[in-house]
Structure 1
C-alpha cells in the first residue's frame, strides 16, 4: 500500500439515523505509545444503529463511530514497536485504565473507567486515526479484510459462551437456547456449537430463523407464539442448560426464564434500553443464575481469530452489504433493514 501524507482526513459524524455526514478534520499524529492506522474496512454494529436512533443508554449523540476496524499501521509514535508500520491490524476497542480492581484481575472489559473507541471516543470510520499501540493486533495475511472485520463482533459472543460454560460446567453435550438471530445471536450460535452444545434459536423473522438453521441450529421458533417456550424445550429435548439473550427486553428475559432448566443460567448479551423488570420469584425459586456479558478480553479476540482462520464462519451468511465511506449514510440506512446481517464500509484503497 502506498501511503501519502495529507493535511486532512474524512471522518463520519452521526447526529441521528438521518444525520450521517462526512466531516473533514486534521490528519492525526501518533504520539508517545500510539500508532496511526489507515482504515480499510469498518463494520457497522447494532450498537451504532441503536445510538443513531438515540436509544443506546451509553452512547450520546452526536458520535463518531467505528469500533469494528481493520486497517494498516502507517506511523508509530515514540516508544512503540516501529516494525508495526506497514502491518495490517485489527483494533481491540475497549479502552481501560489498567489500574482498577477489574483491570488488575484481567477483566479489563469491565474496567471501572471503561470507554469504547468509536462509542465514547471518536472511532475508526475515518481515513486515519491514532490509538494506543496495545489496542492493535497484527493480522496474518491468510485472513482477508472481510473476515478480519468480523473479529470484533465475534469476540463478544465468544466471551458470552465462555462465561456460560463456566457457569454450567462446560457446554459439551449441553442444551442452549439463543434469543435473537441478528449478528450477535448468530455468532453465539456458532460459538456455542463449537463448544459442543445443541442449539435452538428464536427470532421474529422466518428468514433469520432459516439462516440460523443453515448455520447449525437444530431448530428455531417464533418468540411471539403462544407456545414459544414449549416449542424450544421440545426441540432441545428438555429445558435449556443455558439461555443466551441477545435481545434484552422484559419479554425476552421472561421467556429465557421459562426455557431455562432449574439451576441453569441466563446470559444477558443484548444491551437493554434501561431498567428492565425480571421474574425474580422464579429466579430465586429455581436457583437460576442471571449474568451479564460485556465485550471481551484478549483471549476471546484470539478465539474469534482462530474461528475465522479455520473457516468456522461462513462469510457470505454474515456480510450482506458493502459500501464505500462516502456512502456511509446509505450504509447506516441499510443496517436498519432486519434482512441485513453485517454491513461493512470500505475506506481508501484496500490493496
Structure 2
C-alpha cells in the first residue's frame, strides 16, 4: 500500500496567528492539475483578511492566490504536456455559464470565488487547481518577475478600462491615490499607456519610491493644499483618477481632482458603505467605476510587461521568507515600508 505524501499548508487565523497544518497531498481530479509551489506573494487583500478587515474573506483562511510552481500531476482529461511545465495561475474561479461569463467578463462572475481567498490556496507544498487556470511561463522569465504577474494584472485591467472610457491616455494627466503595491503597479501600467502620472500617499518614503518609478510628481493627500498642489503639477484636472485606497476621503479627493467628463476608477477594497459626493459626480458627468481583478488579456499583458523589463522588481520585492517562517512574512507585510513580501516553498528559478 502506497502512503500519500504529506503536504504543508499555511492557515491564517489572525495576523498574529499564522500556522502550518499538515494533511495528505491531494490528487488532481478530472480537469485539474497539481502544482508543486515554488513561490507565493502576499497581497494587500491577504493582509486585510488576516486583520479581519476584508469584507469577502472569512477567517480562518488558507492563502495563496499569487503563485508560481511546476505542474507535477494531472487529472483525467488534462493534456499531459502540462507535466513539468513552470506555471503561474489565474485565480478567479468562474462558473462559465452566467451572463457575465458568457460575455467574457468572468472576473465578475455571479458566483465568483477566488482561489486562496474563498478556497484553499497555493501557500502550501502543492495545490490542485482547474487546468484552465494555468498560465505557462516563458523560460526567460524568472520567479521574481513571474510572481508579479497576478498583482500587476488588476492595474493593467483598470488602465485598459479607463482608456475605453476617456480615450487614449498618451500624454494625458492621471492621478493614482495610494502608493502601496497596487498603487505602484497602477503607476507603472498608466505610464506604459503613456500617461503623465502624479501619485498621492501619506508616507514620504512611498512618495519617493513612486517618483523613482516614474511619477512626474507626488503629494501628501492629507495636506490642506493637496488638491491645488496636484493640479499645479498636472497642469489642470486629471483625465482619470485611480483610487487604490477607497475611503470616503480618497473618493472625495478623486472627484475634486478629475476633469469634467472624466473617470474615477475604484481599485481599493472599501470597508463597508462609503459616502461619495454624488452631487458633483452627477453635475460633472463623472464615471465612478469599480474594478475587480482581470481577464486573460489583462493577465497576458501583465506577463508581457514583466518580460519586457518594464517593472523594476528590486523596487517592488522588499522581503522574502520560507514557508516555515510564514508568520514572519505576514508580520512583515503589515510594515508600511514593505512593498511585496514573498514566501518561498520549493526551489525558485
Which TM-score band applies after superposition, normalised by the shorter structure?
over 0.9
User: Structure 1: how far apart are the matches of 2:168 and 2:327?
Assistant: 43
Task: Please tell me whether residue 228 in structure 1 is matched to residue 226 in structure 2.
Answer: yes
The aligned runs of 1:24-39 (5 Å cut-off) are 24-39=22-37
Matched, 1:299 2:297: yes
What does 1:42-81 correspond to in 2, within 5 Å? Answer: 42-81=40-79
Q: Match of 2:139?
A: 141
Query: Which deviations, in whole Å up to 9, do the C-alpha atoms of 1:180-221 show, x marking residues without a partner?
Result: 000100000011011010000000111100000010000000
1:309 to 300, 303, 307: 307
1:89 equivalent to 2:114? Answer: no
* CA displacement 1:59-107 (0-9 Å, x = unmatched): 0000000000000000011100101000000010000000000000000
CA offsets per residue over residues 200-245 of structure 1, 9 Å max, x none? 0000111100000010000000000001111111101110000000
1:157-195 CA-to-partner distances (Å, cap 9, x unmatched) read 000000111110121121100000001000000110110
Q: Does 1:213 align with 2:244?
A: no
Equivalent of 2:327 in 326, 329, 339: 329
In the alignment of these two chains, the number of paired residues is 347
The residue number in structure 2 matching 1:132 is: 130
SS of the residue corresponding to residue 14 of structure 2 reads coil
Residue 255 of structure 1 aligns to a residue whose secondary structure is helix
Distance in 2 (CA, whole Å) between partners of 1:235 and 1:26 is: 57
**In 1, distance between residues paired with 2:157 and 2:168?**
13
| Offset from partner CA, 1:302-323 (integer Å, 9 cap, x none) | 0000000000000100000010
Is the aligned partner of 1:103 residue 2:105?
no
Report the alpha carbon displacement of residue 350 of structure 1 after superposing the two structures with TM. 2.6
Partner of 1:160: 158
The answer to whether the aligner puts 1:119 opposite 2:120 as a matched pair is no
Match for residue 274 of structure 1?
272
Q: Unmatched 5+ residue regions in structure 1?
A: none
Counterpart in 2 of 1:345? 343
Task: Name segments (4+ residues, structure 1) moved above 6 Å.
Answer: none
- 5+ residue gaps, structure 2: none
Give the deviation of 1:7 after TM superposition. 1.9
- Equivalence map 1:1-40=2 (5 Å): 7-40=5-38
Match of 1:289 among 287, 290, 293: 287
* Residue equivalent to 1:239: 237
Give 1:349 deviation, angstroms: 2.6
Alignment partners' CA distance in 1, 2:82 and 2:348: 18
Q: What is the CA distance between 1:26 and its match in structure 2?
A: 1.2
Cα distance in 2 for partners of 1:248, 1:100 equals: 28
Give the distance between the partners of 1:349 and 1:191, measured in 2 at CA.
Answer: 30
Distance in 2 (alpha carbons) for counterparts of 1:179 and 1:6: 49
Quote the Cα distance in structure 2 between the aligned partners of 1:275 and 1:235.
32
Could you tell me how far apart the structure 2 residues matched to 1:25 and 1:305 are? Answer: 33
